[in-house]
Amino acid sequence: MNRDKELRKNIRYDVKGVALLHNPLLNKGTAFSYQERSLLDLEGLLPPHISTQAEQKMKVLSTVRSLDTDMAKYIYLMSLQDRNETLFYRLIIDEIEEFMPIIYTPTVGQACQEYGHIFRRPRGMYISNNDKGCIKKILKNWPRKDVDVIVVTDGQRILGLGDLGADGMGIPVGKLSLYTVCAGINPRKTIPITIDVGTNNEELLEDPLYIGLRHKRITGDEYDELIDEFMDAVSETFPNVLIQFEDFANQNASRLLEKYRHNYCTFNDDIQGTGSVILAGLFTAMKNLESSLSEQRVLFYGAGSAAIGIAQDIACAKEMAGTPSQEAKENIFLFDSRGLVVKGRNHLTPNKEQFAHSIAGETNFLEVVKKVKPTVIIGVAGQPNVFTKAVIEVLIQENDHPIIFALSNPTAKSECTAEDAYRWSKGKAIFASGSPFNPVEFEGKTFYPGQGNNAYIFPGLGLGTVISRSSRVVDEMLIIAAQTLGNMVSQSDFDEGRLYPPLTNIREISIKIATAIAEYAFDHQLAQVSRPENIEQTIREEAYQPDYISYV
């Protein structure tokens, strides 16, 4: 196969014997043929039976399904990834609905909380404030120079769990796995990175098994100088790489995005990816309710980076549809820890100020719901059970089909459960969550709650950016991704309560999004390579497939 020949060009044939078996990107385990075993000094190092990949998958699938807890399954799957990456991706791609919740949300949250205790083998790179002045040199230690995507975190706001410091590495590792599973980004061309600047988590600082620096977080100019050096070093070491910021705290996420987005190919998934996937759910709802975004009154519980990102995407989508800029923000309301965000309130950040309204303040969320009369409520504050029965009963008094997004992760942080939403709304709610919920039976009907999973957006966005070598990620790309995703939800999906297509279609979804993103980049002079004759065909041909290559 031509693909095998191309891959063999990049494989060092001096990696043989035990060293080859310990290289997860090259290892095939018992699937090495007799000829390969002879060529690669593997004779006697493996059992004599030559396994097919299907046989190997059968074995690991049986093993992982026999484990009692999701955490045990996570640890087993990570160990599989550490010894045979191709087999790992074959398993996850084939059984994505079963194992995505294991390798990412919600299980990855618990994995990060216990990361130092379950740590077996390092993945990716760790850069700390001790490395200031040496980051470029350190990045050159990475064994492969052709890198397409980096996911980086400083571990300060992991999911809804807070400051986990260096233990947050589970997030970039998991995100990059999804880039490969969902969009076919080659795992050889990705790097998960944690920037360790300390932690303010006292429990971690006192934990003898914590893997990070044992001091409080650095802040201010010292922090900014480190991130500046990192961005410069990455762009010089890995030209054209896409840098995804992940789980930075609110005080840093938005300002770093604005600081870097115009000069680097970068985006923040918590802000832009979340905004895009929720916008896609709203597009789906609007299409099936025969309504429009301009008719909706949206109330956020939470006013952090995720809320701002979603709000800005909604406003941007309205503007792209012809609504004037200021008018696009008029029916978007924020509720934070101090209550409704209103004009004249002290200490409003610029991000909140743009969505502040000239109305009386209110600190009780139920009273705000009564006052604002939202058609859409969106929870992104990590506060569980705040979408109460009373709140939902007020919603159904004003709306035939209230839209409820309970987005906080993990499941224990969700603003309400899917069952609560459907039962309290008497089956009228259009519901989506951040973590998965099981189907809900109500009055003879089965509802399949949608999961507003960023995995619907960021892999396709990344793939389209990589294929086009776009110099930047711009807001319009996120809107296009949302529109593309929303258009892939069928009427039958919506009738069953789904706001998103089944995850089993995620590869096709990502290819369609990537094609749309690449087309935009080529059409708007953002691409840095020649336009292929057929963009979608090129994407399909270049997508990574977890098939063993032949070494002979």
How do residues 483-498 score in pLDDT, each as one tens digit? Answer: 999 999 988 888 888 9
- Between 14 and 381, residue with greater pLDDT: 381
Residue 412 pLDDT exceeds 90: no
> Would you give the distance in Å from CA 414 to the centre of its chain?
17
Distances (CA, A) of 259 to 149, 227, 253, 495: 19, 11, 10, 43
What pLDDT is stored for residue 409 in this prediction? 82
Distances (CA, A) of 262 to 258, 267, 317, 530: 8, 10, 21, 22
What pLDDT is stored for residue 11 in this prediction? 53
Confidence of residue 2 (pLDDT cuts 50, 70, 90): very low
Confidence of residue 16 (pLDDT cuts 50, 70, 90): very high
Residue 410 pLDDT exceeds 90: no
Query: What is the distance between the alpha carbons of residues 39 and 17, in angstroms, rounded to a whole number?
Result: 10
CA angle in degrees (0–180, nearest 5) for 245-249-255: 70
- 104 is known as an active-site residue: yes
- Between 346 and 467, residue with greater pLDDT: 467
**Record: fold of 2-96:** Hemocyanin, N-terminal domain (1.20.1370)
How do residues 302-343 score in pLDDT, each as one tens digit? Answer: 999 889 999 999 999 999 888 898 889 999 999 999 999 999
102-269 shares the fold of 2-96: no
**Inter-residue contact 165 to 418 (CB < 8 Å):** no
Closest by CA position to 332, among listed 359, 312, 317, 347: 312
Q: What is the pTM of this model?
A: 0.92
Average pLDDT, the chain: 94
Query: What is the distance between the alpha carbons of residues 491 and 95, in angstroms, rounded to a whole number?
Result: 25
Max CA pair span of the chain: 79
How do residues 86-132 score in pLDDT, each as one tens digit? Answer: 999 999 999 999 999 999 988 999 999 999 999 999 999 999 999 99
Helical residues (DSSP H) of 114-217, grouped into ranges: 115-118, 135-139, 170-183, 202-205
How do residues 368-403 score in pLDDT, each as one tens digit? Answer: 999 999 999 999 999 999 999 999 999 999 899 999
Query: What does CATH list as the number for 102-269?
Result: 3.40.50.10380
CATH superfamily label, 270-552:
NAD(P)-binding Rossmann-like Domain (3.40.50.720)
| End-to-end Cα spacing for the chain | 11
Mean pLDDT of 412-423: 95
Residue 461 pLDDT exceeds 90: yes
Say what angle helices 506-523 and 475-486 make with each other, to 10 degrees: 140
Residue 4 pLDDT exceeds 60: no
Distances (CA, A) of 296 to 271, 273, 283, 336, 388: 21, 21, 12, 20, 21
SS3 482: helix
Which residue is catalytic, options 104, 210, 260, 264? 104
Query: What is the distance between the alpha carbons of residues 279 and 270, in angstroms, rounded to a whole number?
Result: 14
How do residues 280-309 score in pLDDT, each as one tens digit? Answer: 999 999 998 899 999 999 999 999 988 999
What's 488's DSSP letter? T
Closest by CA position to 293, among listed 247, 349, 331: 331
What pLDDT is stored for residue 406 in this prediction? 96
Other residues' Cβ atoms within 10 Å of the Cβ of residue 230? 23
Other residues' Cβ atoms within 10 Å of the Cβ of residue 381? 22
**Inter-residue contact 299 to 368 (CB < 8 Å):** yes
Tokens standing for residue 467? 């294929």
Lowest mean pLDDT among 80-84, 174-178, 256-260, 318-322: 318-322
pLDDT exceeding 70 applies to what percent of the chain? 98
Residue 9 pLDDT exceeds 70: no
Residue 520 pLDDT exceeds 50: yes
Confidence of residue 1 (pLDDT cuts 50, 70, 90): very low
Place of tokens 């009427």: 491
Enumerate the domain spans of the chain: 2-96, 102-269, 270-552
Helical residues (DSSP H) of 169-267, grouped into ranges: 170-183, 202-205, 220-237, 250-260
Q: What dihedral do alpha carbons 439, 441, 446, 447 form, nearest 10°?
A: -50
DSSP string, 305-350: HHHHHHHHHHHHHHHHTT--HHHHTTTEEEEETTEE-BTT-TT--H
Confidence of residue 145 (pLDDT cuts 50, 70, 90): very high
Which residue is catalytic, options 73, 175, 329, 512? 175
Residue 5 pLDDT exceeds 90: no
**Who contacts 309 (Cβ-Cβ below 8 Å, separation ≥6)?**
268, 270, 271, 272, 274, 275
What pLDDT is stored for residue 468 in this prediction? 98
Residue 8 pLDDT exceeds 70: no
Number of helices (H), then strands (E), belonging to the chain: the values are 26, 14
Mean pLDDT of 456-479: 97
Residue 14 pLDDT exceeds 80: no
- 175 is known as an active-site residue: yes
What pLDDT is stored for residue 3 in this prediction? 47
- Between 138 and 321, residue with greater pLDDT: 138
Mean pLDDT of 194-203: 98
Residue 501 pLDDT exceeds 80: yes
What pLDDT is stored for residue 105 in this prediction? 84
- Between 156 and 495, residue with greater pLDDT: 156
